[in-house]
Amino acid sequence: MAEVSILPAEVLLSKRVQEMVLKGEEPPPPYVCRDGDAVHEVAAPFSMIPTIDLSLCALSTPGMEQEEELQKLKSALCSWGCFQAVGHGISSTFAKFQGNTSNSPWKRRRSKRKELKISKAMELTLYLKKVNSWIGLIGSSLKYTQKIEEILNYGQKNQNLSGAFMLPIGILEQYSIKMKKVTELTSKAMAKSLNIEENCFLTQFGERAQHKARFNYYSRCQRPDLVLGLKAHSDVSGFTIILMDEEGLQVLKDEQWFTVPKITEALLVLMGDQMEIMTNGIFKSPVHRVVTSSERERISIAVFYSPEANKEIGPEDGLINEETPRLFKNVKGYADIYQG
Ligand SMILES: O=C(O)CCC(=O)C(=O)O
Ligand SMILES: [Fe+2]
């Protein structure tokens, strides 16, 4: 396996964020990535990110209500590059994942006793030491967060799911299946909103489109004015579906950071660069970041939906015309090329 980090994992992991928080240590310089004053300069008002009912968009008998919802979807993705999805077909069973319900496996572990939480973090560290694919504290993008990634495969038993000991495999598998439905619903709704063939994006993603789940854990932080949970970036995916237990995610629009409100039962759908390409720049892949909090830790599950490996993607023909000429070349392996 190629060497990925500059410092040995042991050194990096000895500075684990939970440890720093528990010891009440100030974050060391590598974690400082924002100006202490900036938090006062940049407004982060409660955002106006639209909420879209995906079930309405999916109705087979079109009508006024559906047309309005599709227009709302299009406008959300042209301006914000994201929307809050409801009507996504994930029953309240999966509200379990929402951190603020007492059933959440993570919340249960987190809230019961401090020792339990620490021991879980320790387990996590041991696990992370084993997997070289972990991208939390490596390379140049040192982050105040801990991550695990899983490739979610459908119809292929026991592939790559075994590492996610934090969640029972059964739940993870179920979650994968649900996520596949949401990506289908969303892909179709987006095509309909642009008046192009409903399956065109699904065709570009391909039958073996990838769903990669990333589990983000953001510790509390003594200095939220200096430290970000995740630095500003755009996603290299097609699009990303995010479930969060607390606020903290911010989206950049008109040079201002807007906090994404946490709406129970909603999933945040956020465009990635590859949807921006496929829509010939009509939908925006927004720059986003995660801020830290001195009071609350935060957990999110991000599912990155990307075209199958080695599949060439490009702007949809139906979106290229004299008024809106082609903005992007076709591209293959975008995520491999641009992954930060
Ligand atoms: O934690 C979040 O809400 C967002 C995570 C994110 O942007 C990412 O993992 O790329
Ligand atoms: Fe992201």
For the chain, the straight-line distance linking the first and the last C-alpha, in angstroms and rounded, comes to: 18
230 lines ligand 1 (CB under 6 A): yes
| Nearest protein Cα to ligand 1, atom 9 | 302
Give φ, ψ of 248 to 5 degrees: 150, -25
Distance 288 CA to ligand 1 centre (A): 8
pTM exceeds 0.95:
no
**Burial readout 30-61 (b: 16 or more C-beta within 10 A, e: otherwise):** ebbbbeeeeeeeeeeeebebbebbbebbbeee
Confidence grade of residue 83 (pLDDT, cut at 50, 70, 90): very high
Residues by chain with Cβ below 5 Å of ion ligand 2: 235
Separation of alpha carbons 41 and 149, rounded Å:
34
SS3 278: helix
Alpha helix ranges (H) inside the chain:
9-13, 17-22, 38-41, 54-57, 64-79, 105-112, 114-130, 169-193, 200-205, 273-278, 334-338
Query: 11-15, 157-161, 199-203: which has the minimum mean pLDDT?
Result: 157-161
pLDDT for position 335: 85
244 lines ligand 1 (CB under 6 A): yes
Residue position matching structure tokens 């080695």: 310
Distance 234 CA to ligand 2 centre (A): 6
Distance of CA 161 to the CA centre of its chain: 18
Is 60 exceeded by the pLDDT of residue 6? Answer: no
What is the per-residue pLDDT across 280-316, written as a single tens digit (0 to 9) for each?
Answer: 999 999 999 988 888 987 777 788 999 998 999 999 9
Separation of alpha carbons 262 and 28, rounded Å:
30
Q: Specify whether the CB–CB gap between 116 and 123 falls below 8 A.
A: no
Residue 259 DSSP one-character state: E
Provide the angle, in degrees to the nearest 10, between the axes of the packed helices 114-130 and 105-112: 120
Confidence grade of residue 231 (pLDDT, cut at 50, 70, 90): confident
Closest CA to 195 of 78, 318, 30, 13: 318
Give φ, ψ of 109 to 5 degrees: -65, -40
- Residue 212 burial (C-beta neighbours within 10 Å; 0-12, 13-18, 19+): middle
ipTM value of the model?
0.99
Separation of alpha carbons 24 and 260, rounded Å:
28
Distance 59 CA to ligand 2 centre (A): 30
- Residue to substitute in 242, 289, 297 for testing ligand 1 pocket (most ligand atoms within 8 angstroms of CB): 242
pLDDT for position 9: 43
